[in-house]
Amino acid sequence: MEPSKILIVDDKPENLLALADTLEELGADVLKAASGNDAIKATLNHDFALMILDVLMPEMDGYELAKILRAREETKRIPIIFLTAIYSDKEHVFKGYQSGAVDYLVKPYDPQILLNKTRVFIQLDQQKSELKGLNRSLEQRVEERTAELVKANEELVKMQKLESLGLLAGGIAHDFNNILAGIMNNAYLVKGSIDKNSKACSYLERVEEGVRTGANLIRQILTFSKGGEPVKRVFFVSDLITDSVNLVLSGSKSNCELNISEDLWLIDADRGQINQVLSNIIINANQSMPDGGNIHIRAVNINIDADDLLPLIAGRFVKISIIDQGDGIREEDLNQIFDPYFTTRGTGYGLGLSITLSIVKKHDGHISVETKPGDGTTFHLYLPASSEKTTKHDTLNKSETDGVKETVQVAGSKLLIMDDDAFFCKAYAQVLNDQGHEVDVSSNGHDAIDLYKKSIDSCKPYSTVLLDLTIPGGMGGVETIRKLLEIDPDVSAIVCSGYSEDPVMANFKEYGFKCAIAKPFEIDDLIEMIQAVATNRTLNN
């Protein structure tokens, strides 16, 4: 803190020097003026804690000076002490107080008394300075908190806009996935009936590749729609970060520096979706540096308190920061980067960050951005930590055990497909028949239940049931599996869907299903799942 300033006014130079020497031990900054006019000029450039005035001076006496100072807004609160050797009678003392002085001393004076009185005003000035500093700090903090609240409100509005768009996109995606599933399966059927080396076969492979591309786009749309709930499990995100970096930056000009805390907590999340989040941001970071550069990724544990303005529930989180050295994001683009289909590049769909935001939100996490044009961009991810205390060693051992696949092959199974899309049912029934399976189809839950009962009565029960989750105007997969479980507690059912608002696909076991598969799917994936379901049942029996 700067020293307080004292102004002493006297027309005698020797008096000014003597008074300045007396006040020296206070550590104050003492300024001198030889007249009233000089004193007024000094107040234009300095804030004084105290003014000590002589009374008898040429041109303007101390009383006149005091009245002028009291009349000015800038100086009316400066304390004034009169110090005089001539006017000591009661009338002049009263006149001094009347002109605005706080004290009136007569020469010769006791230096210690003057020091004690002066010290009081210096202490008051220091306290006033401290309060001003505190007020400035509080004002700055209020401004910062206000800016944070405005930003939090903008993010809330953005979330609501995405949710509305997601509802529309999800409904469209459901129907589109059914169409893609039929195209995929019929292309598979045609390929099986022609020469593998023919041009027609290569054309069909292009059709299949186009379907996969379309399916991937729809899958991204579903991620930020109301459906697509994460299928969570506990894992160490540190391994996933390394895998994502290696995959995305393979063959690129950019390098990545990892700084991951050794005691990083486990997270409970959908590994595939979090991988998509990391990949999207790393891809953006890499693309922001066309000539290559360094990407820094930090991952630490962090506790969020209730007082924090982050839109998160208080608790433990893993914070992942991805920092690039690109050109940054322009201010006019910053509020749009999470909007669907917004892109500043000529390629891509503009869905990467929209999907990233949606995934993080579905995991009860948060994402924020720091950027400065020409000085790079930083994305901060906050993902809830798991309450599980499993060590990394235990997790790896379990993962190795879970990864062992049974190689028992199942052929000649009796299967039941329930789906309202006749095109879908016919196509997949044909493929499965060609694979040696006996397949029956139904368009709704009531017919599926009747067929299942008849198969039991005939002593030829279905080994696997494939149930569509949503049947417009009819009994869907959830209600159907509930009825089938009453008939046969050991029913082996797979749930499939192109889209659902319910979290059934993510939590299929809670509803009684053995597996879940999303449309459109490869026929080989379906056959592998049918075999896995039958294998598990055989092992359990």
**Could you tell me if residue 137 is inside a domain?**
no
The pLDDT tens digits of the residues spanning 45-62 come to: 898 999 999 998 888 999
pLDDT at 219: 63
355 and 456 in a common domain: no
Amino acid at 138: L
What angle in degrees, to the nearest 10, is found between the helix axes of 199-224 and 111-191?
150
91 and 173 in a common domain: no
53 and 23 in a common domain: yes
The pLDDT tens digits of the residues spanning 355-396 come to: 888 889 889 999 999 988 888 999 999 999 998 755 454 444
Structure tokens at 440: 């029956």
Is the pLDDT at 191 greater than 70? The verdict is yes
428 and 389 in a common domain: no
Is the pLDDT at 140 greater than 90? The verdict is no
The dihedrals phi and psi of 202, each to the nearest 5 degrees, come to -65, -35
**Could you tell me if residue 143 is inside a domain?**
no
260 and 188 in a common domain: no
Residues 6+ apart with CB under 8 A from 55: 61, 62, 63, 82, 84, 86, 87, 92, 96
The pLDDT tens digits of the residues spanning 451-489 come to: 999 999 998 899 999 999 888 888 989 999 999 999 999
pLDDT at 149: 78
519 and 384 in a common domain: no
The pLDDT tens digits of the residues spanning 385-437 come to: 998 755 454 444 444 444 433 433 445 689 999 998 887 788 788 888 888 88
Min mean pLDDT across 113-117, 283-287, 345-349, 428-432 is at 345-349
Count up the domains in the chain and report the number: 4
194 and 82 in a common domain: no
**Could you tell me if residue 162 is inside a domain?**
yes
pTM for the whole structure:
0.45
pLDDT at 405: 37
Residues 318-344: what's their mean pLDDT? 80
Residues 79-99: what's their mean pLDDT? 84
261 and 365 in a common domain: yes
CA-to-CA separations, 204 to 176, 208, 442, 521, in angstroms, rounded: 19, 6, 29, 16
Query: Which CATH number belongs to the domain containing residue 189 in this structure?
Result: 1.10.287
> Among 222, 218, 217, 226, which residue's Cα sits nearest to residue 163?
226
Residues 433-453: what's their mean pLDDT? 91
| Spatial distance between the Cα atoms of 356 and 378, rounded to a whole number of angstroms | 15
370 and 436 in a common domain: no
Tally of CB atoms within 10 A around 4: 23
Query: Which CATH number belongs to the domain containing residue 457 in this structure?
Result: 3.40.50.2300
Structural element, H or E, at residue 128: helix 111-191
pLDDT at 540: 35
Structural domain span for residue 527: 414-540
357 and 448 in a common domain: no
486 and 430 in a common domain: yes
pLDDT at 335: 72
Choosing from 194, 224, 254, the residue where a domain stops is 224
Mean pLDDT, all residues of the chain:
82
Categorize the per-residue pLDDT at 351 as very low, low, confident or very high, splitting at 50, 70 and 90.
Answer: low
pLDDT at 429: 85
| Spatial distance between the Cα atoms of 221 and 219, rounded to a whole number of angstroms | 5
Is the pLDDT at 11 greater than 60? The verdict is yes
Most confident of 141-145, 196-200, 246-250, 486-490: 486-490
The pLDDT tens digits of the residues spanning 217-258 come to: 666 666 555 445 676 778 899 989 998 898 888 888 899 999
Is the pLDDT at 158 greater than 70? The verdict is no
**Could you tell me if residue 409 is inside a domain?**
no
**Could you tell me if residue 27 is inside a domain?**
yes
**Could you tell me if residue 123 is inside a domain?**
no
Q: What percent of the chain has pLDDT over 90?
A: 30
CB-CB contact of 385 with 509 (8 Å): no
Choosing from 163, 197, 224, the residue where a domain stops is 224
238 and 220 in a common domain: no
